C-alpha cells in the first residue's frame, strides 16, 4: 500500500496512462523530426562552391554525383536545377520551385501532430479532474469523515491537471522549435535556389558558344 500511495502515476488515476502515452509519442516525434531537420543543414557555402567549380569546368556529371552523395533536401534542389542546365532561365526557375514544393511538406511532416498533442494533453488532464470530482460527489455519503480518502481524490484531480498542462507546455515548445527550424531551412532553400539559378543562367553553354563565335 505504501508503494501505491507514493506512486505518482497511480495517484493520478486511470487518465495518467493516456497522458503518459501522449508524452511518449510527442517525445519520439520530436526526436525524429529534430534529427531529420538536422540532416537538412549542410555547409551551404562549401557545397555551392564545389558545385559551381565542377560546372564551370564542364564536369556536370560529377556535380550531379556530388548532389546525390550529399544528404538533405538542399542537394536535391540543386540537382533539379543542374538537370535543366543549358535550358532557359524560366525552365531552371520552374525546376527549382517544383523541387522546393516537393521538399517542404517533408520538412513539415508530423510537426502538426505535435501541435495536436499539445492541445489534447490538457483536455485529458481536465478529464482526469472531472473523474476525480465525480468520484468525490458519488462517495460523499460513504466518506464518514475520512479526510484521507478525500485528499486522495483531490490529489488525483490536481495531478492529472498538472501533468496535462506540463505535457502541453513541452509539446508547444517542441512545436515552435521545430517550426523555427523549418522556416530557417525554407529561407536557405530560397537563397540556394537564387544562387544556383543565377549561376546556371549566366553560365549557359549556348552563351559561351555565342561568345566564342563573336570573338571569331
Instruction: Give residue-wise pLDDT tens across range 31-81.
Output: 999 998 887 677 788 888 888 898 888 888 999 998 888 888 888 899 999
> Which residue do the cell numbers 554525383 mark?
65
Cβ neighbours, 10 Å, residue 88: 12
Helices assigned H by DSSP within 12-88: 16-39, 44-56, 60-69, 73-82
Q: What is the pLDDT of residue 8?
A: 60
The whole-model pTM stands at 0.77
Question: CA-CA distance, 53 to 55, in Å (whole number)?
Answer: 6
Question: CA-CA distance, 183 to 172, in Å (whole number)?
Answer: 16
- Bin 58: left if φ > 0, else alpha if -120 < ψ < 50, else beta: left
Query: In the predicted model, what is the mean pLDDT of the chain?
Result: 83
Cell numbers linked to 25: 509519442
Between 201 and 25, the higher pLDDT residue: 25
Q: Which residues, other chains included, contact 39 with Cβ-Cβ below 8 Å and sequence gap of 6+?
A: 71, 72
User: How do residues 140-156 score in pLDDT, each as one tens digit?
Assistant: 666 665 566 677 778 88
Question: CA-CA distance, 213 to 193, in Å (whole number)?
Answer: 31
Q: Give the whole-number percent of the chain exceeding pLDDT 70.
A: 83
User: Longest C-alpha distance within the chain, in Å?
Assistant: 109
Amino acid at each position: 500500500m505504501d508503494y501505491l500511495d507514493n506512486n505518482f502515476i497511480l495517484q493520478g488515476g486511470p487518465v495518467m496512462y493516456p497522458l503518459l502515452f501522449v508524452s511518449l509519442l510527442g517525445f519520439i516525434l520530436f526526436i525524429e523530426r529534430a534529427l531529420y531537420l538536422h540532416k537538412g543543414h549542410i555547409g551551404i557555402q562549401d557545397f555551392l562552391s564545389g558545385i559551381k567549380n565542377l560546372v564551370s569546368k564542364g564536369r556536370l556529371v560529377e556535380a550531379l554525383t556530388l548532389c546525390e552523395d550529399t544528404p538533405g533536401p538542399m542537394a536535391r534542389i540543386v540537382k533539379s536545377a543542374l538537370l535543366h542546365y543549358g535550358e532557359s532561365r524560366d525552365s531552371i526557375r520552374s525546376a527549382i520551385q517544383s523541387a522546393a514544393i516537393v521538399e517542404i511538406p517533408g520538412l513539415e511532416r508530423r510537426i502538426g501532430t505535435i501541435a495536436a498533442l499539445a492541445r489534447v494533453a490538457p483536455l485529458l488532464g481536465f478529464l482526469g479532474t472531472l473523474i476525480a470530482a465525480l468520484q468525490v460527489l458519488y462517495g460523499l455519503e460513504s466518506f464518514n469523515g475520512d479526510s484521507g480518502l478525500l485528499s486522495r481524490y483531490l490529489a488525483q484531480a490536481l495531478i492529472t491537471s498538472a501533468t496535462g498542462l506540463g505535457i502541453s507546455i513541452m509539446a508547444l515548445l517542441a512545436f515552435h522549435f521545430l517550426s523555427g527550424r523549418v522556416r530557417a531551412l525554407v529561407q536557405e532553400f530560397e537563397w540556394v535556389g537564387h544562387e544556383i539559378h543565377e549561376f546556371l543562367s549566366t553560365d549557359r553553354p549556348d552563351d559561351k558558344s555565342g561568345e566564342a563565335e563573336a570573338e571569331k
